Structure 1
Amino acid sequence: MAIISLITDFGYKDEYVGLMKAVILKINPKVKIIDLNHEIPPQDVVWANYLLESSYKFFPKGTIFLCVVDPEVGTKRKIVIVKTKNYIFVSPDNGILTRVLEKEKPVEIIEARNKKFFLPEISPTFHGRDIMASVSAHLSKGIKLSQFGPPLKEIKKIPLLSPLIKDKSIIGKIIHIDHFGNLVTNIEKDLFNCIVKKKRLFIEIKNKKIFKINSFYAESKKGEILAIWGSRNLLEISVNLGDAAKELGVEKNEEVRVNFFD
């Protein structure tokens, strides 16, 4: 069974997600649709990168990822189809695939240009429904990529926010605040292990200091601020049974500093 996974910034207040699904099922009633996330902050291509890269590998091989975070909708920006060894990605050419394609190397890149696979009428504000959902549905029926348009040598990549390594500190930023108020940073576990290793450390955020990284939340008392590796392998600042964002008064892009010493 073909699978299409949806990632958008549409939310659920309006009809946008439902209409994309309707278009897909009208073209291929047998496809299985999985909603990965529709609460990407509006136009936040950077967070969509992190979410997609941390999620794709849990899906069956052959899954089609339809990624619609599209601040430039209606412009001349391309819509692309990228095939890797294991997956297919359909998205605007705006850098949303930057991180995932560092792990899944492209074997074929196509610009979706063949209007045969679009809806008859194209809204300048809803390419997700009229082009990308339709293209994804046709792909799920096994149509070859070459039929959708001309090949591309490369697609747009965006410079992603990387932590700064300075003296004996890793200086990162909050890139996402989740449903529970956990503060997700851009400090990756692999980078941390490579640099900090088994050195002693303390983490600073908003004049608060944390002196260890928990193995699980309940290792700290209720209401206590803690650090933990989240399921995305990114460092998170949390409050056990609480809301770290509210407790600390923190917003996206605020600094988090990991200091380490012998």
Structure 2
Amino acid sequence: DNGLLTPLAALPEARVHEIRGGRFHRQRVAPTFHGRDLFAPAAAHLLDGGAIESLGPRIHDPRLLNLPEARQTAAGLEGEVVHVDRFGNAVTSIRDADLEAVAAPLAVAVAGRRLALCRTYADVAPGSPLALVGSSGRLEVAVRDGSAAEGLGLERGSQVEVVDAGGAGEGGNPVPPVDV
């Protein structure tokens, strides 16, 4: 598990099976390309209508990674950066569903700054930091037309808080641009 399977295996409707037998993988399986050599042929089998049970035995107690999760606090939520993408956006452990459980309006506190929780990058001026829910369904800290990792000094493990915007109204407090 490279971190992609753990969140899926935690879903209530998930069933985990071991891929066993040569029928569902390439003749020669490289030790570093399981996505190509094991998972792609198994996925093709399932998409073609094959039964998941035919891949191999069900695993009732799979070993899962211990991935960071959001924590509810009296002030809102606490989380951490779990990944920095190639654009310098800091993807956090805070899911969209976690945000829905906290009363709005919200702001994001990170690296000594208070950022607006926005819907799109266009909600702020170029060079300005913001927080938004990205395509992964997780809260991300970004800089429009820049890098949050460089501009705010964010890295894996950096702490992030979701807090009440303090009555600043929709969009949260304005924040000055960051030099990137």
Asked whether the 8 Å contact 1:114–1:147 carries over to 2, the reply is no
The 1:234/1:124 distance shift into structure 2, 3 A limit, reads: closer
Of 118, 122, 125 in structure 2, the residue corresponding to residue 218 of structure 1 is: 122
Asked whether the 8 Å contact 1:182–1:239 carries over to 2, the reply is yes
Q: State the shift of 1:113 in Å.
A: 2.6
The 1:142/1:232 distance shift into structure 2, 3 A limit, reads: closer
Q: Is the aligned partner of 1:259 residue 2:166?
A: no
Of 151, 159, 182 in structure 1, the residue corresponding to residue 66 of structure 2 is: 159
The 1:187/1:144 distance shift into structure 2, 3 A limit, reads: closer
SS in 2 for 1:100: helix
Structure 2 unmatched runs, 5+ = 168-180
The 1:232/1:130 distance shift into structure 2, 3 A limit, reads: closer
**Amino acid paired to 1:247:** G
Of 85, 88, 91 in structure 2, the residue corresponding to residue 181 of structure 1 is: 88
Distance in 1 separating the partners of 2:39 and 2:54: 15
Q: Name which structure has the greater RCO, CA cutoff 8 Å, separation 6+.
A: 2
Please report the RMSD computed on the Cα atoms of aligned residues, expressed in angstroms: 3.0
The 1:133/1:161 distance shift into structure 2, 3 A limit, reads: same
Distance in 1 separating the partners of 2:68 and 2:48: 37
- Matching residue of 2:20: 113
Distance in 2 separating the partners of 1:178 and 1:124: 25
Q: State the shift of 1:194 in Å.
A: 1.3
Distance in 2 separating the partners of 1:135 and 1:233: 26
Asked whether the 8 Å contact 2:8–2:14 carries over to 1, the reply is no
Q: State the shift of 1:131 in Å.
A: 4.5
Asked whether the 8 Å contact 2:70–2:98 carries over to 1, the reply is no
The 1:227/1:141 distance shift into structure 2, 3 A limit, reads: closer
Identity among equivalent pairs (%)? 29
Q: State the shift of 1:169 in Å.
A: 3.5
Distance in 1 separating the partners of 2:11 and 2:155: 29
Q: State the shift of 1:254 in Å.
A: 0.6
Q: Is the aligned partner of 1:232 residue 2:139?
A: no
**Amino acid paired to 2:65:** I
Q: State the shift of 1:184 in Å.
A: 1.4
Deviations 1:81-119 (A, max 9, x none): xxxxxxxxxxxxxxxx23224447146x54333235455
Q: Is the aligned partner of 1:204 residue 2:109?
A: yes
Distance in 1 separating the partners of 2:34 and 2:136: 29
SS in 2 for 1:98: helix
The 1:245/1:136 distance shift into structure 2, 3 A limit, reads: same
SS in 2 for 1:190: helix
Figure out how many residues of one structure are paired with residues of the other and give that number: 166
Query: TM-score by structure 1 length?
Result: 0.52
Distance in 1 separating the partners of 2:31 and 2:131: 44
Distance in 1 separating the partners of 2:63 and 2:40: 21
Structure 1 unmatched runs, 5+ = 1-42, 50-96
Distance in 2 separating the partners of 1:219 and 1:182: 16
The 1:253/1:137 distance shift into structure 2, 3 A limit, reads: same
